[in-house]
């Protein structure tokens, strides 16, 4: 199962009002394990960077001036995203909105919203009433974010990938519930899990039926109880 965890940085909050995408970072997961494949790009937004946005991510006009336009790398991005992998983002409507705005500007089809997984929506269901920011959830799940001084698309996607794995059960290698699949999982992590299971030693089940002596002692104890509720039964 292939999934892409991604994050974006922008010139502001309004994709429909002229704000533009300036950075995207994507991390590939296969069976909830990072493969090491990433996609990362900065973009020249063709408009000035507002000071309040620069304060968030630190990307200045001077830094972005020689970066490619979104149109220059759109094919590479879409190839990485593929056509059927789930797309995981934190407050996903925001990130989808900005990517879609850039795609539509180039007369490309927007992203398929059925591929969307929103970790904010997941967190609200799992932890109602708690804080659902990326920082707060990393703290809750014990994910080190000490190196996150400013927002950065690839850094935040890497943190979110760790968070997403934890929120969906963690990497429980070798834990198998129910019958084995008819088609064995051939992924590297599944092979590790099978090797761990092969090294386990299993004890035979202990007898659990009561002996005659235990039944007699239990009957005597029940008979010694005075005023028991079951004495009032018809």
Q: Kindly list the catalytic residues.
A: 151
Q: Are 18 and 46 in contact (CB under 8 A)?
A: no
Q: Are 55 and 185 in contact (CB under 8 A)?
A: no
User: For residues 196 and 8, what is the distance between their CA atoms, to the nearest angstrom?
Assistant: 38
Closest CA to 49 of 41, 59, 38: 59
Residue 28 labeled ligand binder: no
Residue 66 labeled ligand binder: no
Residue 3 labeled ligand binder: no
Q: SS3 of 180, please?
A: coil
b/e code 75-92 from CB counts within 10 Å (16+ = b): eebeebbeeebebbbbbb
Residue 76 labeled ligand binder: no
Tokens of 13: 């909050």
Closest CA to 140 of 126, 152, 158: 126
Strand bridging mode 2-10 / 86-89: parallel
Strand bridging mode 86-89 / 33-42: unpaired
Residue 7 labeled ligand binder: yes
Q: Are 56 and 153 in contact (CB under 8 A)?
A: no
Q: Which residues contact 149 (CB under 8 A, 6 or more apart)?
A: none
Q: What are phi and psi of 59, to 5 degrees?
A: -90, 115
Annotated binding site for substrate: 7, 9, 52, 57, 156
Binding-site members are 7, 9, 52, 57, 156
User: Which segments are annotated as binding site for a divalent metal cation?
Assistant: 7, 9, 156
């Amino acid at each position: 199962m292939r999934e892409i965890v991604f994050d974006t940085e922008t010139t502001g909050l309004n994709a429909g009002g002229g704000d533009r995408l300036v950075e995207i970072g994507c991390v590939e997961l296969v069976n909830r394990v990072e493969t090491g494949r990433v996609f990362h790009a900065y973009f020249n937004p063709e408009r000035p960077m507002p000071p309040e946005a620069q304060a968030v991510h630190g990307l200045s006009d001077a830094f972005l001036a020689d970066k490619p336009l979104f149109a220059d790398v759109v094919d590479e991005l879409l190839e990485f995203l593929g056509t059927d992998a789930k797309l995981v983002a934190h407050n996903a409507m925001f990130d989808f909105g900005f990517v879609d705005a850039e795609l539509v500007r180039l007369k490309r089809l927007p992203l398929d919203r059925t591929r969307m997984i929103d970790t904010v929506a997941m967190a609200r269901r799992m932890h109602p009433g708690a804080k659902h920011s990326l920082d707060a959830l990393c703290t809750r799940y014990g994910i080190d974010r000490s190196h996150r001084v400013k927002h950065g698309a690839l850094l935040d996607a890497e943190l979110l990938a760790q968070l997403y794995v934890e929120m969906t059960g963690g990497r429980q290698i070798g834990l198998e519930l129910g019958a084995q699949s008819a088609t064995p999982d051939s992924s590297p992590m599944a092979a590790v899990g099978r090797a761990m299971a092969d090294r386990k030693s299993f004890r035979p089940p202990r007898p659990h039926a009561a002996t005659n002596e235990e039944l007699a002692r239990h009957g005597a104890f029940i008979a010694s109880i005075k005023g028991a509720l079951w004495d009032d039964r018809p």
